[in-house]
Chain A
Amino acid sequence: MAKAVEGRAVSATQREWAAVVQAIVAIVGSDAVVTALTHRLVYQWDGNTVFGGLPQAVILPRDVDQVEQVIRILSDHRIPWLARGSGTGLSGGAVAIQGGVIVDLARLRGPVQIDAIGPLARVAPGVTNLELNRAAAARGYFYAPDPSSQVACTIGGNVAENSGGSHCLKYGVTVNHLLGLEVVTASGQRLSLGGAAPDLPGYDLTGFFVGSEGTLGVVTEATVHLVKQPQAVRTVLALFDGPEQASQTVSDVIAAGMLPAAMEMMDRLAMDGVELGPYRVGYPSQTGAVLLIEVDGIEAGLPEQAEHIVAIAQHNGVQEVRVAQDERERALWWQNRKTAFGAMGNLSPNYYVQDGVIPRSRLPQVLQQIESISHEFGLRIANVFHAGDGNLHPLILFDDHQKGQREKAIQAGSAILHICVEEGGSITGEHGVGIEKREEMRWMYSDEELAFQGELRRVWDPQGLANPGKVLPT
């Protein structure tokens, strides 16, 4: 692990800091204020393994009033702070690089309120994506954005990052499912943005807040749109010699006028990793790429679609293609795919996940370029790809015990992002900019554009206290 730096001293003097802590304790109680080093260390990292930072205190408010009062105090004393959910983010967004305070929203997790008319749900920020989905499923619905970390990641974090998942091509990302937000802005003001009613007049502040990575304020409740569970699902698993044939299959499926709910691809190295994990599918050794395609909707229309997909795969020289026979088989295929990141631990002491987006049809060329980067830096790179929407997750394997490998991995990741931008894509599809990609933002936006984005940020946070040092380059 890289060394975490003790956050640089906040602007407050020691005496003032003590007074601030005292004032916060008066609001939330002493058990909700963490200052002991051993406990603060838990917050030194988030899901990323490269950038760390130590907060000077962690506060765990119990309700919205406490959140508001705490943020007011921090604002009055100009102390930097950031909101944190489960800390599963992969770009360093939930790390206190400038010290200050972490407001942990773990205790804001009341029951999910589902309104079948809508259908919609009102969710507290500390509720996990999976908990929301379980509550929705019990009523015949689902919440579409499904990040691979859904077991742990929270709705508050999903809103901050505009999280995606595997079903974005058909169902969209977090912002497409958000109707309204209750927030406390960085200046300590409670605000309702949007709401359950359609077409509310005014600027789409909800849309702007989503994906702002905690730099405008903190979400205290989200009203989300739920989707009816489809009547039926068909999942197709296709094994190919290599990514080129798999990629052509994806393009041909789209060209045939189908819009699958998900299309996921893994290359050989990624398969090697997951096959060593708990959800082994048993991919043959000569398979170079696996493609998982899922179609959903009205049962009557699915057999034909599944057959069509099988035929397209065969046309592209598939080694083996099959349709899941039951829910158990489907679940296994998905668990196999969804555990791909963690499975890299089976192949390498360390790994670094990247998150770039490319126009889908450029995949074969981009994979070749990634292979060149792998050779150039002498690091193995596994590829997991949301092939439907062009979201690429290269997993760069390295060994921290070998001097310089971590730096090389970071450089290799950056080189891959450069290719994504050159191809007309993005430096991040769902993991956010965080600390990690601040400099890469310059590849996407001019100085003038970045400065303007900064101006819009200051509307919400004039003092620059909410999650400082994230998103925009310095």
Chain B
Amino acid sequence: MDAASPAERIEPASEEVLAQQLAQAYHTHRAVLPRGGGSQWELGEVPTRADLLLSLGRLNGIAEYAPEELVVRVQAGMALEALQSFLQVHGQWFPVEPVAVPGSSIGGLLATGASGARRLAFGTPRDLVTGMRFVLPDGRQMHNGSRVVKDVAGYDVKRLLIGSLGTLAVITEAWLRVRPLPARRQTVLLSSKDPVGPVAPLQTVAHRILASEFLPTAMEELDARAAVQVGLPGHATLAIELQGETAEVTYQRDRLAAWASKQEDTSTPLSLDLLEEEASDAFWTAFHHRLPQAPLVVRVGVALADFPLIWETVIQRKVESACVAGPGHGVLRLFATPSEEREMLALWVDFLTRLRAQTEACGGALVLEKAPAALRERVSVWGKPPASIEVMRAIKKRFDPLGLLNPGRFVGGI
């Protein structure tokens, strides 16, 4: 969203002031772009209008914390990292680490619905918000949900806002579910010794893990290029994170080691490395935050049953890029620095068009999370609008009848 630079910037210190300023913008028909940490500022089409940048930066505190209830109420502008530091002192954490450059705010995380590798065990922001406060474009302040995990009173308006990319309302505060910090964290790295790497044996292990009693908190496959970028040797690697009590972590790790040493299904032996505690955390930090520093980030989401088909197309790609994929959740990402050369661009356009057609044909979606302008001119950010797009437009109209919040940035031109 590089072209959007609003002339004016506001940074309200309270929801009250934010509501007044929004109402004012509404009455003067000015387009507003809410901004949290800015780590996913480029997500979406370039807004068709941008008059006012609304920074949530000063709404950045913990509003209420109930460790015994495993919930915390956080203002939208608070940095995810600051929240984690705060919770850590109390032996807890918020189990989301998005695939994005560092600096995510809670509001931005919810607005983008972003998640990372640990969705395998903990779900996505959609699963971790119990209540929310938000302000409609005309300045009406509202709340939905509460601090309790089970609450089915009325319509679940907050769920519409999660992943809506700031096109419906401005999130100002949320009740989040938190988790106890695990006693132990370990990451098992299984890699193919062949540098080019037949990935099949890794996939076999991944499927075996999914079908077993194991409960990994993250499991991602990295191709050789992605492995190098996160500081591993250049081999295709399957990274498996295990969290929990010592006994359960040790049990799973030992079983994995036994599997790796007796790879029955292939002649290619797998090598096993172990990252413990801080080293394990550092690996996942690199995984989540270093890879997306590339100027092109492509996200593909398909049902797991269709995953092998998409994978086949991806490994045969001719375009230079790093790839990571979650065989347990169906999200695959490509990271690249495409050159501006015309032939290279044409290769990318061709590849993405084919991959998107294939993905959409099996009910999935390909999204350009980040892309150079030259590429975006030829490949749309969101792809084919969903079948329910008319309902989405109608919902947008109820929230934002004048179309002033992030106009044109979202799916189907919303």
Which residue numbers of A lie inside 8 Å of B, CB to CB?
115-118, 120, 161-162, 164, 168-169, 172-173, 175-176, 185, 191-193, 195-205, 207-208, 210-212, 228, 230-231, 251, 254-255, 257-259, 297-301, 304-305, 357-361, 386, 389-391, 424-433, 437, 441, 444-446, 448-450, 452-453, 455-457, 459-460, 471-472
Contacts and interface: CB of A to CB of B under 8 A. Distances in A.
B148 A358 contact: yes
Interface string B371-401: 0000000000011011111011011001000
Contacts of A424: 146-148
A444 B307 CA distance: 43
A429 B148 contact: yes
Contacts of A359: 66, 69, 147-148
B223 to A, nearest CB: 20
Nearest to A390: B148
B305 A304 contact: no
Nearest to B66: A359
A257 B305 contact: no
A444 to B, nearest CB: 5
Given A207-B156, A389-B148, A441-B154, A202 B385 contact: yes
Contact of B68 (A169, A254, A298, A431): A254
A428 B155 CA distance: 12
A468 to B, nearest CB: 15
Given A202-B385, A390-B69, A257 B180 contact: yes
A3 B147 CA distance: 38
Interface of B: 66-70, 91, 113, 115, 119, 123-124, 126-127, 136, 140, 142-144, 146-157, 159-160, 162-164, 168, 179-181, 183, 211, 213-215, 244-245, 247-248, 250-252, 299, 301-307, 329-331, 362-365, 367, 382-383, 385-389, 391-392, 394-395, 398, 410-412
Contacts of B149: 168-169, 172-173, 357, 389-390
Pick the 9 closest A-B CB pairs, nearest first: A301-B248, A207-B159, A429-B150, A196-B303, A231-B213, A257-B180, A300-B251, A426-B151, A197-B364
Given A201-B382, A257-B183, A304-B245, A191 B126 contact: no
A326 B363 CA distance: 44
Contacts of B398: 452, 455-456, 459
Find the residue from B144, B150, B214, B306 having the highest chain A CB count within 10 A.
B150
A176 B127 contact: yes
Nearest to A362: B69
Contact of A460 (B148, B247, B391): B391
Nearest to B412: A202
B154 A195 contact: no
A173 B151 CA distance: 10
A361 B157 contact: no
A158 to B, nearest CB: 11
Nearest to B127: A176
Given A118-B303, A428-B152, A456 B391 contact: no
Contacts of A161: 152
A426 B162 CA distance: 21
Contacts of A196: 303-305, 363
B127 A172 contact: yes
A164 B150 contact: yes
